[in-house]
Amino acid sequence: MANPNPNLSLPEDNVRSEPLSYSSSQQQEAEDSVEKAEDNVENEETVSNLNSNLNPNIQDNLQIKMPNLLHLSFNQDHGCFSVGTDQGFRIYNCDPFCEIYRRVFDQRGGGGIGIGIVEMLFRYNNILALVGGGSDPKFPLNKVMFWDNNQNRCIGELTFRSKVRAVRLRRDRIIVVLEQKIFVYKFSDMRLLHQIETISNPKGLCAVSQVSGSFVMVCPGLQKGQVRIDHYASKRTKFILAHDSRIQCFALSQDAQLLATASSKGTLVRIYNTVEGALLQEVRRGADRAEIYCLAFSPTAQWLAVSSDKGTVHVFSLKVNAGVPENDKPHSASEPNLGASSLSFIKGVLPKYFSSEWSVAKFRLHEGSQYIVAFGHQKNTVVILGMDGSFFRCQFDPITGGEMTQLEFYNFLQPKETF
């Protein structure tokens, strides 16, 4: 198929001729639609209207058959989360927990229904980035579809020559991650701005800042254990050899000044300054190898949450600021060090393991299940989401630490009447 946009003539890229561009009146309509979508949290009209269009047999099947999760992610401010299933997609609010809306696709027309990636843009719930997934995908795996929930249809698409691994959105940028390339587009007209080559990146690792006027993007570099940090405002690129083994997970702080990284070993998490690339702090998840699923900074970067396949979520105390390495910071003798080992006074004598900084608090989950975590809007709380449909809200004590207290639990795959 011929490329309709001459500005996008690169061999890996092709864009449909329905760009996302908004006039001021259309922007107002979009904002109004957000308010309507939020109203649906209370009246649930979206779901009831959708289900009323299905015949009774299909409704009965949907009530009986539990969907399989294909995708789970928080939005940019962790106030909502999106779910992709083998039947469609759903959007939930975190605090208070409730379903905002869902789309269950109809298979009667012969098309697919599975959604493998759902990317929100803050609470602007009318526009989503979707990629097909599962055994019966709704869309091709090499396409990013931009779905207008008000119109109940796709209004634009990006097509690639290989499978889309991840999508990230900012208010002004669209970032599409392939296994060995990343493309950055302008949101308003889908014009290609940058493309970056990476080492093999099957997990689609990529983190982007959300601060307006300061676009920072982190992705794997071109060698094992390396991360690349692009500061687009200052046109600077920084490479950090963060680990000896391959990068498993990373996360940016809210102000994009700090970067947390974990390797495939899963024992250590390192905190770097994103501007200079200096190692500021190192914390230890445990002694055994583990697969790190998620890293998350608190809004003020005072805390770091870590989830892994060991069935635990850890919260670490961060004692760094973006400009001062840990070894250069003055410490008061009376200052409590919640995350440090009691053997820290003999650093350099015993092995590094004994002088590691350990977590302040933790919460135990089912080992082997995959969980993601973010800090809640309530003080000293975390929200934990599981690929088994679990939603936990937990609270930790920043002084005494220890086991977290479970405040809420739901299974968002169950019928809404059980919430």
Is the domain of 138 the same as that of 273?
no
Residue type, 234: S
Percent of the chain with pLDDT over 70: 74
What CA–CA distance (Å, rounded) separates 43 from 319?
45
Structural domain ending residue among the three candidates 164, 181, 201: 164
Q: Can you give the pLDDT at residue 228?
A: 98
Instruction: Judge if 149 and 252 occupy the same domain.
Output: no
**Phi, psi at 165, each rounded to 5°:** -95, -30
In this model, does residue 209 exceed pLDDT 50?
A: yes
Question: What are 251's two structure tokens?
Answer: 């996360």
Mean local confidence (pLDDT), 158-187: 96
Q: Is the pLDDT of residue 64 over 70?
A: no
Please check whether residue 388 lies inside any domain of the structure: yes
User: Longest Cα pair distance anywhere in the chain, in angstroms?
Assistant: 72
Give the confidence band of 43 by pLDDT, cuts at 50, 70, 90.
very low
- For the stretch 95-122, pLDDT in tens is 999 999 899 988 776 678 999 999 998 8
Whether residue 258 is found in the same domain as residue 391: yes
How many domains would you assign to the chain? 2
pLDDT over 70 at 339, yes or no = no
User: Can you give the pLDDT at residue 285?
Assistant: 82
Q: Is residue 235 part of a domain?
A: no
Claim to verify: residue 258 and residue 356 sit in the same structural domain: yes
Strand 13-15 relative to strand 153-160: parallel, antiparallel, unpaired? antiparallel
Q: How confident is the model at residue 288 (pLDDT cuts 50, 70, 90)?
A: confident
Q: What's the pLDDT at 418?
A: 61
| pLDDT (0 to 100) of residue 356 | 59
Tell whether 254 and 125 lie within a shared domain. Answer: no
* CA-closest candidate to residue 230, choices 203, 263, 259, 188: 259
In a domain? residue 210: no
Nearest of 124, 96, 132 to residue 36 by alpha carbon: 124
Per-residue pLDDT at 358: 77
Write the pLDDT tens digit of every residue in 83-94. Answer: 999 999 999 999
R_g of the chain computed on alpha carbons: 22
Per-residue pLDDT, averaged over 154-171, amounts to: 95
Last residue of a domain, one of 164, 199, 234: 164
Q: What is the identity of the amino acid at 129?
A: A
Percentage helix, strand, coil, to 5, in the chain? 10, 40, 45
* Same domain flag for 247 and 160: no
pLDDT at 153: 87
**Residues 278 and 366 placed together within one structural domain of the fold:** yes
Question: Does residue 271 contact residue 259 with C-beta atoms inside 8 Å?
Answer: yes
Separation of alpha carbons 313 and 330, rounded Å: 30
Residues 158 and 287 in one domain: no
Instruction: Give the model's pLDDT for residue 71.
Output: 97
**Distance between CA 78 and CA 98 in Å, rounded?**
14
Cα separation of 113 and 344, whole Å?
Answer: 55
Full DSSP string of 168-208: EE-SSEEEEE-SSEEEEEETTT--EEEEEE-S--TT---EE
Q: Which CATH number fits the domain that encloses residue 410?
A: 2.130.10.10
Q: Same domain for 156 and 33?
A: yes
Q: How, if at all, do strands 402-403 and 361-364 pair?
A: parallel
The tokens describing 343, both together, are 């053997």
Residue among 360, 286, 355, 272 at smallest CA distance from 316 = 360
Dist. CA 115–CA 96, nearest whole Å = 25
The residues, ordered by sequence, that sit 6+ positions from 374 with a Cβ below 8 Å of its Cβ are: 74, 78, 296, 305, 382, 383
Task: Write the burial class of residue 231 (CB in 10 Å: 0-12 exposed, 13-18 middle, 19+ buried).
Answer: middle
> Residues near 256 by Cβ (< 8 Å), separated by ≥ 6?
209, 211, 214, 216, 274
> Could you tell me the residue range of the domain that residue 342 belongs to?
242-419
Query: Using N-to-C axis directions, what is the helix angle for 45-52 and 24-43, rounded to 10°?
Result: 90
Q: Is residue 184 part of a domain?
A: no
Q: What is the pLDDT of residues 293-323, one digit of tens each?
A: 999 999 999 999 999 999 999 999 998 764 4
pLDDT of residue 405 exceeding 70: yes
Q: Assign 123 a pLDDT band (cuts: 50, 70, 90).
A: confident
| pLDDT score, position 145 | 96
| C-alpha span between 254 and 97 (Å, rounded) | 23
pLDDT at 55 (0 to 100): 46
Q: What average pLDDT does this structure show over 49-74? A: 62
CA angle 192, 198, 203 (to 5 degrees): 100
Is 293 found in the same domain as 160?
A: no
Residue 408 pLDDT > 90, yes or no?
Answer: yes
264 and 409 fall within a common domain: yes
257 and 156 inside one domain: no
Give the closest residue to 131 by CA, choosing from 106, 159, 111: 159
CB 377 within 8 A of CB 363: no
Find tokens 């097909």 and name the residue.
132
Quick check: 14 pLDDT over 50?
Answer: no
In this prediction, residue 136 has a pLDDT band, given cuts at 50, 70 and 90, of very high
| Domain's final residue, options 129, 164, 199 | 164
The Cα–Cα gap between 38 and 72 comes to 20
**DSSP string covering 255-281, please?**
TS-EEEEEETT-SEEEEEETTT--EEE
Sheet of 181-186, strand order: 166-169, 173-177, 181-186, 192-197
Element of type H or E holding 304: strand 303-308
Please answer whether residues 304 and 318 qualify as being in contact, where contact means their C-beta atoms are separated by less than 8 angstroms: yes
Question: How many angstroms separate the Cα of 378 from the Cα of each of 73, 96, 396, 409?
Answer: 19, 11, 11, 16
